[in-house]
Amino acid sequence: MENNFLISGLKRKDFLALDFLTAEELEEQHIKKQIVDRSPAFPCRITLREGAVGETIYLLNYQHLKKQSPYDAAGPIFVIAGTDEAALEINEIPAIIYNRFTSLRCYDSSGMMIEAYLYQPKTLTAKDICHILTNMNISFIHVHYAARGCYSARIDRV
């Protein structure tokens, strides 16, 4: 049986309030607001694309794994202000993942990491992910940028 997958970014609705926070409120929450000054450099976790020069982007801490397990985790992410969510096809790997060093962290349903893989830029394929998902103990996969360790996206079997 072939395993298909869907890579998903974060939900826009979870970050709508950012556009309405004052500079003081952003600072109190340790959120940095900046203008993208070069690309590639600011991968958005909502759109799953690079921030374009001139766009407003936020850098904030985000809890990406909430399973009450030893692997619960949070870390820095970028989100582009006022943007739409990624709309990827089944088995599609977005360029911001394909073009970077990535790690795939595979978790069971209780949030325990049971496998992990590293990929050089431009080497991760849909076939690789489908093969990983043949392990039926894997409930979901988190993609991280290997160099800085930041969360990128989630992969689910479909």
Instruction: Please compute the mean of the pLDDT values over residues 40-48 and round it to a whole number.
Output: 97
Q: Could you tell me the pTM of the whole model? A: 0.95
What is the b/e burial string over 75-111, where b = at least 16 CB atoms within 10 angstroms of the residue's CB? eebbbbbebeebebeebebbebbeebebbbbbbbeeb
- Nearest-CA neighbor of 94 among 81, 147, 148, 102? 102
41: containing domain: 5-157
Amino acid at 80: I
* CB distance 1 to 131 below 8 Å: no
How confident is residue 82, by pLDDT bands cut at 50, 70 and 90?
Answer: confident
Report the pLDDT value the prediction gives residue 1, as an integer from 0 to 100: 45
- In sequence order, the β-bridge partners of residue 34 are 57
How confident is residue 71, by pLDDT bands cut at 50, 70 and 90?
Answer: very high
Report the pLDDT value the prediction gives residue 3, as an integer from 0 to 100: 87
* CB distance 87 to 49 below 8 Å: no
Give me the chain's average pLDDT, please.
96
How many domains does the chain divide into?
1
